[in-house]
Structure 1
Amino acid sequence: MEALAARLSQLDSHVEGAIRVVMFYDTLMRRRVDLPALARASAGLAECPAGIRLHGAGRPIHFSPDGTAASAPAPTASSTAPITLDEEEIGAVWLERTGPAGPLDEVLLDRLAIAAAAVVERYGPARTTMADPALVELAISGDSDAAARARALRLLGFATGVPLRVVAVRSSVPLDRISAALCPDRPVKAAPLGDVGVVLASAVAVDRLPAGVRAGIGTADSPERSWGEARTALRFATERRPVVRYDGLGALALLAQVPQDAARGNADVAAIGLVAGAPEDLETLEAYCATGSLRRAADRLHLHHSSVARRLDLIGKALGIELTTPAGLIRATLALTAWRLLDS
């Protein structure tokens, strides 16, 4: 490279300068610098403020030529160039010269944009919580091809090959709070899709979720399958069991595939709907089905076991099910779960 630069420098001083700019950025990339270091070095080379902004990444990266972080960017840049990755514009770079543009500004910005795209591809954009819903949908959609999905995940900041969890949430709590709690120390992105919030994270800490949040966690390796699992798991979430992992459902997940009309037409499911008209009875049945024990249900309900026994006897007669038998417990649990899925 140095020999080529020496030969070209004999032809044109502008070409020599351009080659030196190219070599400058090649050296930065070999050192695997991040975006702030890239902007700082560019400002020093250009001897004027330089900036990098990624779409949807919050505040821009902006440095003065002395290497210090600059204040807010100027209203208009003296020259600018788009950052392009996989034929998609993902941001922009710019210089803020007070006088006329320098002879090498165009070359400098071109190389800065290429270097910024390479950094984004390697490390992902600066961490933010909320993301473009269209980009998130592209990353988890079963209709996306593998290349489009990989590009979307890369633009969201997830490295190729890194395990990813997809979480479907429903809550009045702001989605950015939920996602920050779910994954406090690793990359996380979130966006609303219809009436469900989507969280993409490399790991999840469900014990940190705020109260009142219902969440379904997908466990498949691929984002599109994990999203489908997360939505299914969310349907099983209740007030007593607000967080559900798909792999914890086992055979119960099959109930989510039962057509709604078929479930409504089932006698046991219809009977659960009648019992649900009395909140105390429904709570008692839920506690018994969840624990499988009259005494443990009584402990959960803070009632004497004889009181719970009397309630279950009346509920069993209303359902036409002998609840104290193993078969009756299974039958009531399936009917209650199917009824809950209708409500979801």
Structure 2
Amino acid sequence: MKGLLRRLNALDADAAAAVRVIAHYQALLGGGTVDPVTLVRSTAGLVSCPAGLELADGRRVRFAPDGVALPGVPGRVSDSVELRPAGRVWLERAGAAEPFDALVLEWMALAARVGPGLTGPSPRAADPALVERVLSEHESIEDRTRAVRLLGLHPGVPLRVLAIAAGQDAGVTAVPLLARCGMAALVRVATVGPLAAALVQPQGGEDAPAAALRAVLAERDAERLPGGERSRGVRCGVGGAVPPSR
């Protein structure tokens, strides 16, 4: 019984740490555009180790956990995530990666994509009821169009539907995963049943996401979690581009 209690306490601590990481970046994103200095400095303070960001134009931003800017290139990079089409974010731990470093980097990459000098809009978590209304064949065209507008999408521009299977936390996994794809599109993500459903509406022309998704999933599958285990597999299905009201 004592062993079980210890395991439950550990799970509670892990859950609290994950919530703290997610809340940190949601607070940053809630303010709109995140500048690189704020993002990197706050990340370094959150994880108590140096953190860095390389912009698409090659500029680098690095900060120590005490808020002091660091010059030059990083020494030892303990873990990193590539940004698309260019750039990356990283942590510089002296030792092994911590259990939540991968989660930190996923959300750091997501926040980086809404910063100046980086690419396009960020995927957003959306109201599941609105997403389900857009997807439903039983709703009227008027109701579906209204839901599209409430999601911040344009009723006259075709969109794609992506279905993402990623275990119990499909919605949480899908948002940073799609951010890594670097799509020039408006993306709304919601958990619908056991899956995450993403509505993807390209900006400035057709932008099929399949190739970018394949590349990101291959990168993710190759990544190793602390302890040497591989990242849990994620499966995605990509629908064709159709008018939102169809």
Per the normalisation by structure 1, the TM-score is 0.31
| Structure whose alpha-carbon radius of gyration is higher | 1
Greater RCO, CA 8 A, separation 6+ = 2
Normalised TM-score (structure 2):
0.42
